[in-house]
A and B are shown apart, each in its own frame.
Chain A
């Protein structure tokens, strides 16, 4: 059975320098856990967006928790550019490994299968390939005359982060059709999950809910966090707080503005206690 704990204790389980998988902003992001990681002062993370990120990545970048970002894109969507990401790349303080959506999905699927790499069509001729020393273009190894093809190495995150609408006492979590969360849970060494509501019963035994359930064997830590995805949304439960996200996009355009946001929205009492 997976131990139940609190969000701060989950954050303690993420070592400095870990390779962490972040769901995209529309897919059940554990924002309360992200804020707890910043409060714990985690450092030198290598974050892999699956396959894009926004608020989660931008907060970690602005707070100085990330050394490397790997993503197909980092953006606040309709709220515009991700300010800390943009600043970090332009001033050279952040190392960005540019990728593309299917390459990230495929590299995680390689880890799901326990194979060292996977082939992927398309992509060749993109400058992304030119700057990715870890990717390789080979002639059709099957000798079937299919021309050149791209190989991408497996991505095996140390930790995947998920916020689930439901969890049960057995440590199973329910994420519905958000199957990229299945992929990251399968691919990562462990998954730390927060959840909204406790399901009374065993999710794996329910004929309807089991189809959207990630079983406890993949979950390394579990903590309840009510409204734990906010200001992002949780489809089926609550929408994204676009006003908050737009205000962040504006305020965080300068590092001073970001720091003010961080102190007010993330560090809170901790910042006051330290000063």
Chain B
């Protein structure tokens, strides 16, 4: 078994969820999803396109802040990543704050583009490492972006999967429920249940999440460190051991 860090493991889990082709976009302040997308691009020989909106590296957008949203609205973005201060069992996301709106007990930055990307991108991967009852609640205090919509609202996109530090879940849009797909090595179904504030489906047998192969880790460290350093130099150095000045 290869040695790897928790961030490298999460990159590997997300990489396993990505399609073999299409266009995966990544928002700001998302080094783990960004690394996964760049790794999958490498593994698919470029068939999966990587579109990072932060910084100038791997950022293909040239028409201002609206271009990502216009492209998503047209169906040009196949994968996007969202998180939340709170996420509930219907995959509603809260990025605004906790307590009663508008005064709130704790105010967070705001909804960003979540209620649009959630409707327009077919494969939204929810990434929230902290797996606690503080985050995974029965009902969010504020719905920034709803997990499901009634039939009279056009919607192509929505939640596909949830990746946390404990497990991988999928989301069934017809049932409006999460399903536990696998539990990460060293953790248990009970631990997931104890730390989740909402009800979810559990199959009879829950597999252990696959660990990254030595080959994948090799590509990640040798090639993706350099790529992600263009956007997240500190992360590239700390997590992937890549230092720009050493490679020159």
Chains A and B belong together in one complex: yes
Establish whether residues A98 and B96, one from each chain, have CB atoms under 8 Å apart when the complex forms: yes
> Nearest Cβ in chain B — how far from A26, in angstroms?
8
Known pairs A77-B28, A122-B118, A126-B145; A101 contacts B64 (CB<8 A):
no
Q: In chain B, what residue has the closest Cβ to A52?
A: B112
Partner of B112, one of A26, A96, A100: A100
Q: Does A73 count as interface, using CB distance less than 8 angstroms? A: yes
Contacts of B73 in A (CB 8 A): 102, 121-122
A125 and B103 form a contact (CB under 8 A): no
Q: When the two chains form their complex, are residues B116 and A122 in contact, meaning their CB atoms are under 8 A apart?
A: yes
Residues B14-62 near A (CB distance < 8 A): 28-29, 54, 56, 61-62
A62 interface residue per 8 A CB criterion: no
> A89 to B104, Cβ gap below 8 A?
yes
Docked CA distance A146–B142 (Å): 27
Q: Which residue of A lies closest to B93 (CB)?
A: A126
A2 interfacial contact with B, CB 8 Å: no
Contact across chains for B56 and A81 when beta carbons are under 8 A apart: no
Known contacts A123-B119, A127-B142, A235-B56: A73-B66 contact under CB 8 Å = no
- B102, A81: Cβ atoms closer than 8 Å: no
Q: Is the interface of A mostly helix, strand, loop or mixed?
A: mixed
Q: Is B245 an interface residue (CB 8 A)?
A: no
With contacts A122-B116, A122-B155 known, is A27 near B29, CB below 8 A?
Answer: no
Choose, from B3-11, B146-154, B165-173, B195-203, the stretch at the interface. Answer: B146-154
Q: How far is the CA of A260 from the CA of B218 in the complex (A)?
A: 49
- With A100-B116, A122-B119, A147-B153 as contacts: A128 and B111 at CB distance below 8 Å: yes
Q: Is B205 an interface residue (CB 8 A)?
A: no
Asked if A78 is an interface residue, CB under 8 A from chain B, the answer is yes
Q: Which of B92-134 contact A (CB under 8 A)?
A: 95-97, 101-120
Contact status B113-A100, CB under 8 Å: yes
Q: How many Å lie between the Cα of A182 and that of B62 in the bound state?
A: 12
Cα separation A235 to B54 with both chains bound (whole Å): 12
A177 and chain B: residue at smallest CB distance: B62
Within 8 A of B (CB), among A40-71: 50-52, 71
Q: Which of A24, A86, A126, A179 contacts B111 (CB 8 A)?
A: A126
| CB neighbors of B among A72-110 (8 A) | 72-75, 77-78, 81-82, 85-86, 89-90, 92, 96, 98-103, 105-106, 109
**A–B complex contacts, Cβ < 8 Å, 16 sampled:** A27-B65, A51-B112, A51-B113, A73-B112, A86-B107, A90-B105, A96-B102, A100-B112, A103-B116, A105-B65, A122-B115, A122-B119, A123-B116, A127-B96, A128-B111, A177-B63
Residues of B that sit less than 8 Å from A by CB: 28-29, 54, 56, 61-67, 69, 73, 95-97, 101-120, 142-146, 149-155, 157
Task: Please give 20 more A-B residue pairs, beta carbons under 8 A apart, in addition to A27-B65, A51-B112, A179-B63.
Answer: A52-B110, A71-B110, A74-B109, A78-B29, A81-B109, A100-B116, A101-B65, A102-B113, A105-B69, A121-B120, A121-B154, A122-B73, A122-B116, A125-B150, A126-B115, A127-B143, A128-B111, A131-B101, A146-B154, A148-B152
